[in-house]
Amino acid sequence: MKTKKTLFIIPPERFNEVELFYPQSILEGAGIKVTIGSTVAGDVIGDFNGKATAEVAISDVKIDEYDAVAVIGGSGTIDHLWDNEPLLQLLKQAHEQHILVSGICAGSVSVVKTGLLNGRAGTCYPVDVMINELKSSHVEYVVQHVVKHNDIITSDGPDGAKDFGHSLVEALA
């Protein structure tokens, strides 16, 4: 059986460590390979000075090599990923190729900005700036850790990070 592969997209600075490391360890524990990407390849410092290495730049991603893509939150996600056109195009391309699209916390807003969730339910970190992004994109905001559709999964943030990881594993099973 071929190993499943997931691409986690983090901002080039200020990613949320809980939202990256918890789901990553859950997926890797289930035998799923996780590749970390960002706007540029290289070392990235998180919101709480945690360290991660982006192995690939979004512009160099071959999305058909992955079974899922997840946009990770953190304060840098708002600044670097919400309106990142190459990322939004990558997410749309993934969806067209029946690759699972997902986001956690501020990363959920990046998914919402593609238009792929219009008219459906989703979740994000419970702050007005994010909730308003969902509502302005015609997405019903739901207060729960994870909202699952067959093609898209959104999560609320650090409190839902473990549930998010398990939801990705279930969806890829």
> What does the angle CA 107 – CA 123 – CA 113 come to, to the nearest 5 degrees?
50
What are 107-146's pLDDT values in tens digits? 999 999 999 999 999 999 999 999 999 999 999 999 999 9
Give the residue extent of every domain in the chain: 5-172
CB under 8 Å, gap of 24 or more: what pairs does 52-59 form? 52/10, 52/15, 52/20, 54/10, 54/12, 56/7, 58/9, 58/84, 58/86, 58/87, 58/90, 59/86
- pLDDT tens, residue by residue, 40-71: 999 999 999 999 999 999 999 999 999 999 99
Measured distance CA(72)–CA(70) in Å, rounded: 6
User: What pLDDT, in 10s, does the model give residues 78-90?
Assistant: 999 999 999 999 9
Query: What is the side-by-side strand order in the sheet with 146-148?
Result: 56-57, 33-38, 5-9, 68-71, 100-104, 152-155, 146-148
Q: Which CATH superfamily is domain 5-172 in?
A: Class I glutamine amidotransferase (GATase) domain (3.40.50.880)
pLDDT given at position 80: 98
2: confidence class by pLDDT, cuts 50, 70, 90: confident
What percent of the chain is modeled with pLDDT above 90?
Answer: 99
- Confidence at residue 82, expressed as pLDDT on a 0 to 100 scale: 96
Q: Considering the chain, what is the average pLDDT of its residues?
A: 97
